Amino acid sequence: MKELAIFDLDGTLAESKSALDQEMASLLGALLDVVKVAIISGGDWPQFEKQVVSKLDPGQKLANLSLLPTCGTKFYRYETAWQQLYSEDFSEAERNAVSAALRQVLGSPELDIGQIWGEQIEDRGSQITLWALGQTAPLDDKQRWDPDFAKRQRLKARLEQLLPGFSIRLGGTTSIDVTKAGIDKAYGIRKLRDILGIGIGQMVFVGDALFPGGNDYPAKEAGVVSIQVKGPDETKCVVSAILAVLSDVSA
């Protein structure tokens, strides 16, 4: 059995920008009792606190949990409290260039956005995220807007022309994440290897965006055994299976 189970958050452990439900929180707590766990996702630290940390029992083995917000550009571990180990922030010039490019593509007439809920560009320090429908769009509207990823693939291609030298990945249901070149989930995987002392061959990754261009794909490219899921219900089945295997091994 692997030594480290790594999960994406939105679309994998929980619905977009939603907290873990009670069943998932219980499964994750049970997993923390028997193996190390990491979560790498596009959301920033406040989103991790809301979606994950607030749903976990403080008595659980939080020292076994590593949290990597903004696609691995930040790293948090728990001692007596959550501590940030690093943050690969943009320079001011990089931030300005990315924001300008995102505003340019959002003005494209063929984008067919329609109604917008909230801000469309979120600066997370080490990652800038485009939310096509806005940050607070209803989940149903987000799921209907780009179900086959075609709209965001066109946006990604345009951004790659405007922003050579940056990593650009599809995330969630309507978002695109921009980070420094090479600073993505593969970078986070290597940081987990170095900080935890666990070989990549001893890791398993679970995510919903493992296709080329998806923000989970770099984890697969890094050589981690990867499991594609379609949502939290499938992830619950995967976690239950891991727990069953670990139970058999320890029996």
Please give the backbone phi and psi of residue 144, each rounded to the nearest 5 degrees, phi first. -80, -25
Q: Provide the residue ranges of all domains of the chain, joining segments of one domain with +.
A: 4-88+183-250, 92-180
- Helix %, strand %, coil % for the chain, to 5? 40, 20, 35
Q: What is the assigned CATH class of domain 4-88+183-250?
A: alpha beta
- End-to-end CA distance of the chain, in Å? 13
Which residue's structure tokens are 């030298």?
A: 165
251 residues of the chain, pLDDT tens digit each:
799 999 999 999 999 889 999 999 999 999 999 999 999 998 899 999 999 999 998 878 999 999 999 999 999 999 889 999 999 999 999 999 999 999 999 988 767 788 999 999 999 999 999 999 999 999 999 999 999 889 999 999 999 999 999 999 998 889 999 999 989 999 999 999 999 999 999 999 999 999 888 889 999 999 999 999 999 999 999 999 999 998 776 65
- Helix (H) or strand (E) segment spanning residue 228: strand 225-228
Superfamily of domain 92-180: Eukaryotic phosphomannomutase, cap domain (3.30.1240.20)
**Residue 17 and residue 46 in contact, taking contact as beta carbons nearer than 8 Å:** no
Please give the backbone phi and psi of residue 212, each rounded to the nearest 5 degrees, phi first. -55, 130
Question: Closest Cα partner for 168 from 187, 149, 155?
Answer: 155
Residue 251's pLDDT is: 55
**Residue 15 and residue 4 in contact, taking contact as beta carbons nearer than 8 Å:** no
Residues in the chain: 251
**Residue 38 and residue 4 in contact, taking contact as beta carbons nearer than 8 Å:** yes
